[in-house]
């Protein structure tokens, strides 16, 4: 058992399985009290159940840690508030929110329905906003009461959002939104003693097991680069007191790799100090694009 998060109270949404489960267990190993939130739904968001969250709580308690289970739907406005209240009522405070809950309904745009679009945006983007909003409300009240706050929000973006991936327009749009939300929220919540960062993880879970890139032979004796547990040390560090000076950043993380994802910035440009003529752009725009760096590939690498 470590001490990186000793005494801190953490909520991890969608933590009954996969990456979220790994986060919850590692936070507990590092001394945090954990609220394990999971709706118990299928990968596409259908169904529900209480089993997964309870099982993770049992694992944490078996190792001597403190945890409670919560089955609220975090994409529901009142459900998110109840989850924040659960942490405060169970452990007396709230220090860290990890927004991890998500679903997949992959489809090419030409075949996607509005229901498939809305469901993914709701679970990923709306839940991230709702959880952050209610946590921020609590931290603002603490600040106004003269209590020193050293809080954290860790969001979950994706390479599909910040770099793009065919067949995931709904998922990618939600994740890109989360990345932008992270930057804005970091600016707004600084006054309340909270930092806001995000990760773009790659790991083998229920949500990714059908993707061919994860095909590999498992060998217990060797390091598994696709294990969800590889992502959690960064998340736990971002949730610790040691990360106080880091905010508004998105990190790619997979296997033993971590990098800082550099966001949109102005590239090659032209300014004539007057209104452009449409015909003049025939040469200007192709020239600017030729000078600009190519869009990154799905793993964030800029092609030669």
| Segment-wise mean pLDDT, segments of 10 residues, the chain, 304 residues | 93 96 98 93 43 92 96 97 98 98 94 97 98 98 98 97 94 97 98 98 62 58 88 97 97 95 95 97 97 92 88
Residue partners of 208: CB distance under 8 A and separation at least 6: 202, 214
Distance CA 194, CA 84 (A): 15
Q: Taking a C-beta distance cutoff of 8 angstroms, is the pair 127, 214 a contact?
A: no
The residue with tokens 């799905």 is 298
Distance CA 168, CA 5 (A): 35
Q: Give the per-residue pLDDT at 176.
A: 97
Q: Give the per-residue pLDDT at 43.
A: 45
Q: Taking a C-beta distance cutoff of 8 angstroms, is the pair 91, 31 a contact?
A: no
What digits encode the pLDDT tens for the residues 241-280?
999 999 999 999 999 999 999 989 999 999 999 999 999 9
What digits encode the pLDDT tens for the residues 285-294?
999 999 999 9
What tokens does 178 get?
A: 């989360």
Domains of the chain plus CATH, in order, are: 9-261 (3.40.50.720), 267-304 (no CATH)
Nearest residue to 231 (alpha-carbon basis) of 94, 65, 45, 98: 98
Q: Give the per-residue pLDDT at 50.
A: 57
Q: Give the per-residue pLDDT at 266.
A: 96
pTM: 0.91
Q: Give the per-residue pLDDT at 262.
A: 94
Q: Give the per-residue pLDDT at 222.
A: 82
Q: Give the per-residue pLDDT at 242.
A: 97
Q: Taking a C-beta distance cutoff of 8 angstroms, is the pair 72, 137 a contact?
A: no
Which residue numbers are catalytic? 158, 171, 175
């Amino acid at each position: 058992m470590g001490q990186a998060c000793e005494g801190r109270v953490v909520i991890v949404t969608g933590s009954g399985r996969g990456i979220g489960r790994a986060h919850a267990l590692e936070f507990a190993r590092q001394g945090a009290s954990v609220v394990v939130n999971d709706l118990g739904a299928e990968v596409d968001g259908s169904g529900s159940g209480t089993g997964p969250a309870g099982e993770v709580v049992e694992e944490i308690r078996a190792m001597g840690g403190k945890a409670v289970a919560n089955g609220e739907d975090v994409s529901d406005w009142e459900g998110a508030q109840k989850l924040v209240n659960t942490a405060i009522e169970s452990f007396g405070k709230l220090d860290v929110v990890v927004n991890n809950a998500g679903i997949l309904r992959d489809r090419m745009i030409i075949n996607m329905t509005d229901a498939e679009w809305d469901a993914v945006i709701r679970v990923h983007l709306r839940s991230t906003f709702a959880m952050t909003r209610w946590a921020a409300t609590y931290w603002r009240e603490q600040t106004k009461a003269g209590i020193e706050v050293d809080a954290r929000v860790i969001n979950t973006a994706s390479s599909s959002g910040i770099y793009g991936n065919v067949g995931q327009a709904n998922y990618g749009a939600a994740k890109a939104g989360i990345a932008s939300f992270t930057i804005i929220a970091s600016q707004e919540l600084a006054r309340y003693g909270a930092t806001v960062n995000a990760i773009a993880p790659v790991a083998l879970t229920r949500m990714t097991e059908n993707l061919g890139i994860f095909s590999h032979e498992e060998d217990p004796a060797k390091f598994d680069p696709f294990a969800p547990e590889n992502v959690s040390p960064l998340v736990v560090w971002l949730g610790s007191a040691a990360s106080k000076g880091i905010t508004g950043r998105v990190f790619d993380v997979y296997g033993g790799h971590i990098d800082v994802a550099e966001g949109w910035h102005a590239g090659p440009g032209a300014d004539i100090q007057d209104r452009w003529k449409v015909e003049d752009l025939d040469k200007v725009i192709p020239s600017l694009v030729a000078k600009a760096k190519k869009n990154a590939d799905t793993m964030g690498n800029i092609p030669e």
